[in-house]
Amino acid sequence: MAHVSRKSLTDVSALAARYRAVREDSRALGAPLSDADATVQSMPDASPAKWHLAHTTWFFETMVLKPNLAGYEVFDDSYNYLFNSYYETIGERQPRPRRGMITRPALDEIFAYRAHVDAAIETLMERGPAPDVAELIELGCHHEQQHQELLLTDILHLFDQSPLKPAYRDPQPLGVAADPGEVRFIGFDGGIVEIGHEGDGFAFDCEGPRHRALLEPYRLADRLVTNGEYLAFVEDGGYRDPLLWLSAGWGTILGEGWTRPFYWHERDGEMWTMTLRGAQPLDLNAPVTHLSYFEADAFATWAGKRLPTEFEWENAAASLPVEGNFAGSGRLRPKPAAPGEGLRQMYGDVWEWTRSPFSPYPRFKPVEGAVGEYNGKFMCGQFVLRGGSCATPENHIRTTYRNFFPPDARWQFSGLRLAEDA
């Protein structure tokens, strides 16, 4: 999960402020949870909130403090086994599907662990970390922001399993929003374009090296696909027509019994969906979310369109400001597209599936050491998503950011934007 910044972070005071802000954001995310809320694991792909809070702390302790702060005392030796994720070079660990078995330490002790590590990082900051250590701290901050989003999506999945359908945040009535209007397609010329991160500033290693890509002329929808549009696909028998589905997708919906997006359910003849603010009536004008790649691709086929490639998406987004409905808005659910001209909702609301597999860019090489394990070894069997979501921290996303998940994953805030050949 290394980054490719070409300039070391030299402003230690700015780095210290960023570290404190990120850590406080995580503490605030955990504050509404009981110890039981934070311990239960609802499925193998999700992790308990307590584990997220501890693992991100373990990252700073293991990658930053132990090798770089003389005299640092490890909080608890057993935590290296409990809270390592998948760093093979660091040692054995609790199996991922059994993270919910970690009933102890309690949540209060995890917060004490966080305070212990935070104090040591402050000491390291005061002593003036070397440039490579400062970069590791910056990496750790972005790593923690990824887990902030995962904490929210995993809590949503957990609360959906409860017959009480509890709300993580107080429920709010849906705001009145204008109909986003008929979708319009915006054209882009083909040609050779530059793709990937370059220059100063943070980026994960998989976002580079910057390279050239050849695009054929294409058109991109000006907004995301809505719940209402996806409901039409459902009611038209979209989940019963094998001609719309990739073979692996058709096998998945048959095997899993999928008939609608994740979290949709009927109540008194009306469609509802589970949100971080509890069960809510389906907002037909808001972007559809919690779709797998298979579902996004099937809808695009039904609509006579296709999913964009990640290069098409990045080329279209490159000139736009990184603005949208992110976690900081407090809404914690997608909202309808605001009226406007040009591309809308390119950032925030929902991660957008692309048809691009998560594979290395030309000349990509994982960095040396344990942090090089994060991205490179997952470049097989996954698809790229772009743009961030309503659960993504706003200062964590950028145009070149490549998220990735297996094609059957749908507990994330994932939706789609249509594309077509010009």
Tokens at 163, concatenated: 């017959």
Same domain, 203 and 78: no
| Cβ-contact 75, 58 below 8 angstroms | no
| Cβ-contact 65, 72 below 8 angstroms | yes
Of 76, 71, 174, nearest to 123 (Cα)?
Answer: 71
Same domain, 114 and 250: no
Tokens at 207, concatenated: 């976002």
Q: Give pLDDT, residue 7.
A: 42
Same domain, 251 and 108: no
Tokens at 66, concatenated: 């132990």
Q: Which residue has the tokens 């662990």?
A: 113
- 66 CB-side CA count, 13 A: 13
The tally of domains found in the chain comes to 2
Same domain, 345 and 204: yes
Q: Where are the alpha helices (DSSP H) in 71-209?
A: 79-83, 107-127, 131-161
Q: Give pLDDT, residue 373.
A: 59
- 60 CB-side CA count, 13 A: 31
CA distance 338 to 323: 13
| Cβ-contact 281, 174 below 8 angstroms | yes
Q: How far is CA 384 from CA 33, 98, 214, 258, 375, in A?
A: 31, 27, 18, 22, 12
Considering the domain boundaries, does residue 3 fall inside one?
no
Mean pLDDT by 10 residues, the chain (422 residues): 42 94 98 97 97 98 96 96 90 95 96 98 95 94 97 98 95 77 96 93 94 98 98 98 98 98 96 96 96 98 98 97 96 94 97 97 84 74 97 96 97 98 97
Considering the domain boundaries, does residue 402 fall inside one?
yes
Identify the burial level of 301 via C-beta atoms within 10 angstroms of its C-beta, where 0-12 means exposed, 13-18 middle and 19 or more buried: middle
Considering the domain boundaries, does residue 174 fall inside one?
no
Tokens at 209, concatenated: 């090296």
Q: How do beta strands 414-415 and 351-357 pair?
A: parallel
| Cβ-contact 297, 307 below 8 angstroms | yes
Same domain, 122 and 258: no
| Cβ-contact 322, 398 below 8 angstroms | yes
Of 284, 293, 286, nearest to 228 (Cα)?
Answer: 284
Same domain, 219 and 124: no
CA distance 105 to 57: 14
CATH number at residue 198: 3.90.1580.10
Tokens at 303, concatenated: 């609509």
Identify the burial level of 164 via C-beta atoms within 10 angstroms of its C-beta, where 0-12 means exposed, 13-18 middle and 19 or more buried: exposed
174: which DSSP letter? P
Same domain, 373 and 412: yes
Considering the domain boundaries, does residue 170 fall inside one?
no
Same domain, 157 and 213: no
Of 87, 155, 409, 393, nearest to 401 (Cα)?
Answer: 393
Last residue of a domain, one of 145, 161, 177: 161
Q: Give pLDDT, residue 6.
A: 37
Q: How far is CA 142 from CA 59, 123, 139, in A?
A: 11, 21, 5
Tokens at 387, concatenated: 């743009």
| Cβ-contact 222, 344 below 8 angstroms | yes
Same domain, 209 and 128: no
Domain interval for residue 130 = 12-161
Q: Give pLDDT, residue 60.
A: 98
Same domain, 287 and 345: yes
Q: Give pLDDT, residue 172.
A: 78
